């Protein structure tokens, strides 16, 4: 502690400066100086978040969330778009079977004319056969997802959009790139969930910090009715 009169160092607890004999004035620290005041930033954020969800739940969009008329307007409601991967892999299997059959046929012909050389086409046929097995696996997986989607109810809930992202697959060699779209929503209980988007136009209509009614089915986002933007 410093003496305010001469600037000399004063022993803590001393009442007078030993150099100039002036009275030492000690600073009194408030016992509540380090206690955050009521209405801190965190509390204000929580209050604002609660107000946002209250505003959404008072809106006409929220009142119509269980309406059959509103549900009929949901894109992808029938789930037919979920059958597209199954159709694709069915075609994939058929093509692979044709290639495998051709390779096996060549192996038989080559064996009759060239003996052991006929083993080469037979070995090559293992590749399309592997593609057939892969296609069957993907069809089973896609059909399981379709059944889960079909058996899940449509759910409309008050939500805040927290983030969006895309995932690009393929695009190497002669393969065309495929882009998948995802959105993450936060609910009133504080939990967050990421959904795949069926209708890609929905991705363009969504913005981070939008608040409204999010319609979902299984792990897919169907539509969103914006009430306000934060």
Write the pLDDT tens digit of every residue in 143-162. Answer: 777 777 778 889 999 999 99
Among positive and negative, which fits the CA dihedral 203, 207, 208, 209?
negative
Q: How confident is the model at residue 42 (pLDDT cuts 50, 70, 90)?
A: very low
**Cβ atoms within 10 Å, residue 203:** 17
Q: Report helix, strand or coil for 177.
A: strand
| Residue 12, burial from CB neighbour count under 10 angstroms (0-12, 13-18, 19+) | exposed
| % the chain with pLDDT above 90 | 31
Backbone angles phi, psi at 6, to 5 degrees: -115, -10
Q: Are 213 and 62 in contact (CB under 8 A)?
A: yes
Q: Report helix, strand or coil for 183.
A: strand
Mean pLDDT computed over 70-96: 75
Q: How confident is the model at residue 76 (pLDDT cuts 50, 70, 90)?
A: low
pTM: 0.58
On the question of pLDDT at 186 being above 90, the answer is: yes
Please report the pLDDT score of residue 39 as a whole number: 46
Kindly state the DSSP code that residue 24 receives in the 8-state scheme. P
Please report the pLDDT score of residue 102 as a whole number: 78
CATH of 60-69+154-229, one of 2.40.50.660, 3.40.1780.10, 2.170.130.10, 3.30.70.330: 2.40.50.660
Mean pLDDT computed over 87-94: 83
């Amino acid at each position: 502690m410093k003496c305010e009169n001469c600037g000399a160092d004063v022993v803590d607890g001393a009442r007078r400066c030993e150099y100039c004999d002036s009275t030492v004035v000690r600073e009194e620290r408030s016992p509540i100086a380090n206690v955050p005041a009521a209405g801190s930033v965190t509390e204000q954020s929580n209050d604002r978040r609660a107000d946002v969800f209250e505003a959404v739940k008072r809106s006409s969009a929220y009142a119509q969330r269980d309406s059959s008329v509103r549900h009929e307007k949901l894109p992808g409601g029938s789930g037919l778009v979920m059958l597209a991967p199954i159709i694709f892999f069915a075609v994939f299997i058929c093509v692979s079977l044709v290639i495998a059959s051709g390779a096996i046929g060549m192996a038989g012909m080559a064996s009759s004319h060239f003996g052991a050389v006929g083993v080469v086409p037979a070995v090559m046929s293992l590749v399309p056969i592997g593609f057939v097995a892969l296609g069957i696996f993907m069809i089973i997986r896609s059909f399981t997802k379709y059944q889960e989607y079909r058996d899940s109810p449509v759910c409309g809930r008050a939500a805040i959009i927290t983030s969006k992202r895309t995932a690009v697959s393929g695009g190497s060699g002669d393969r065309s790139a495929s882009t998948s779209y995802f959105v993450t929503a936060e609910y009133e209980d504080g939990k967050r969930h990421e959904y795949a988007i069926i209708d890609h136009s929905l991705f363009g209509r969504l913005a981070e910090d939008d608040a409204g009614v999010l319609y979902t089915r299984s792990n897919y986002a169907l539509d969103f009715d914006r009430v306000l933007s934060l």
